[in-house]
Structure 1
Amino acid sequence: MVKDAVLDFVTNYGYYGLFISLVLGIVGLPIPDEILMTYCGYLVSQSVLNYWITLLTALAGSVSGISISYLMGRRFGSPLVEKYGRRLGVTEARLGTVNSWYARFGKIVLMVGYFIPGIRHVTAFAAGLSRMSYPPFALFAYLGAFIWTFTFITLGKTLGVHWTKVSEMTHNFVLWVVVLAVVGGVIYVLYRWRKRKSKLPPQK
């Protein structure tokens, strides 16, 4: 199984294994990133890994992976989707879904996308494909990377030997993240609408 192979890889190579696995997982390979980070949190609880080094390594891997996806979308765009998209999970259907989310909720999708398996690398690719400028991409994507890595590594450290329960907890957590994202998006859209309306000259 992929999960067992990845966990063995991290067990044998420690921080290097974590970094490489997260880069490849975010770029699009089928790596169970949340389980991987929670397992590393468990290794922290057992004093095999250091918490802060693990967190920084995971953050570096996530930032590297999401940046590669962004650059791939910006540099190669549609031809890459047509030729290799399915192998990386970047399908036209997923791109359409993510683009519609961008239209509704804005750049916050880059943050929330981390918590939706199969979507996080598509959000960055879509951002590059749409020629989103780098500064706002970096602000939202890298902040999301910190929240994502901190959440699952700390979760694994807290759960300790019970870290395998993360699958059930992740399902519930992702559900709440999506709900909160939708609510936040609606509030943001209403705020923008009221702001534009306030700038309109009063009707006589």
Structure 2
Amino acid sequence: MKETMMAFIGHYGYAAVFISMMLGIIGLPLPVEFVMLFAGSIVAATQLHMTGLIAAAWLGAIAGMSVNYGLGRTVGIASIGKVTKYIHLDENKLTQLAVRFQKSGPALIVIGYFVAGLRHAVPFIAGASGMPYKKFIVYAWSGGLLWISAFALFGQKFGRHWHSLIKWLHHPVAVLAIVIVLCLALLLKKKIFSSLSHASGVK
């Protein structure tokens, strides 16, 4: 996957970054974080510039978030629940979360970028809950810029040493560290969903 993404971005440049980020946010199984890491790593070897990469990825993320928001407004909770039930968010939970979303929504929009699953569900819930688009897009803009900048700048900084990093990641200590980080991320995701459910009155 990484070789394909690298070739895609290297050949089509900013357009590839935009499309990849948009489709990844909409829900296609694309490693959107790695898209920016890989994009940042080839800046020195191409005519691309980091500012342009961040802008293209940001616009792609905003486009994807807007599409999901629009689907939430038009499709509704029942249809969304058929998809999000696989991440432990069935229709009943989504209904109560939509009510709660009016208060906690802004924070969720920003945090959601950094949590797989939540990233895709949040704009759906925002649309289904009736959050005004003007309010939604302000937090989608700021959260997206923060998320993309962090990964893009990391990729730029370590891009020259990418092959060394890949070799290091195969070291047992690195593998253990990655497993621990993934476990912590899953616990955080579970805690967020659990807290929201309790706050919304879900038993």
- Aligned equivalent of 1:54: 53
Return the letter of the residue paired with 1:124. Answer: P
Distance 1:134 1:155 in 2: 31
Partner of 1:94, secondary structure, is: coil
Partner of 1:132, secondary structure, is: coil
Distance 1:49 1:79 in 2: 43
**2:21/2:57 contact within 8 Å kept:** yes
**1:70/1:124 contact within 8 Å kept:** yes
- Aligned equivalent of 2:97: 99
Return the letter of the residue paired with 2:57. Answer: A
Rate the CA distance shift 1:92–1:41 in 2: closer, same or farther, 3 A.
Answer: closer
Q: Which is worse superposed, 38-47 or 139-148?
A: 38-47
Rate the CA distance shift 1:79–1:102 in 2: closer, same or farther, 3 A.
Answer: closer
Q: Percent identity?
A: 29
- Aligned equivalent of 2:138: 139
Return the letter of the residue paired with 1:15. Answer: Y
* CA deviation map 1:101-136 (0-9, x unaligned): 848844201001001122212110111111111122
TM-score, normalised relative to structure 1: 0.71
Task: Return the offset for 1:30.
Answer: 0.5
- Aligned equivalent of 2:72: 73
Rate the CA distance shift 1:109–1:69 in 2: closer, same or farther, 3 A.
Answer: same
Partner of 1:30, secondary structure, is: coil
Root-mean-square deviation over aligned CA pairs: 3.4
**2:102/2:129 contact within 8 Å kept:** no
Rate the CA distance shift 1:20–1:129 in 2: closer, same or farther, 3 A.
Answer: same
Task: Return the offset for 1:62.
Answer: 0.6
Unaligned runs of 5+ in 2: 170-177
- Aligned equivalent of 2:129: 130
* CA deviation map 1:61-111 (0-9, x unaligned): 0110011010011111135436xx54xx67573363793884884420100
Are 1:117 and 2:116 an aligned pair?
A: yes
Rate the CA distance shift 1:59–1:52 in 2: closer, same or farther, 3 A.
Answer: same
Partner of 1:41, secondary structure, is: helix
Distance 1:149 1:17 in 2: 15
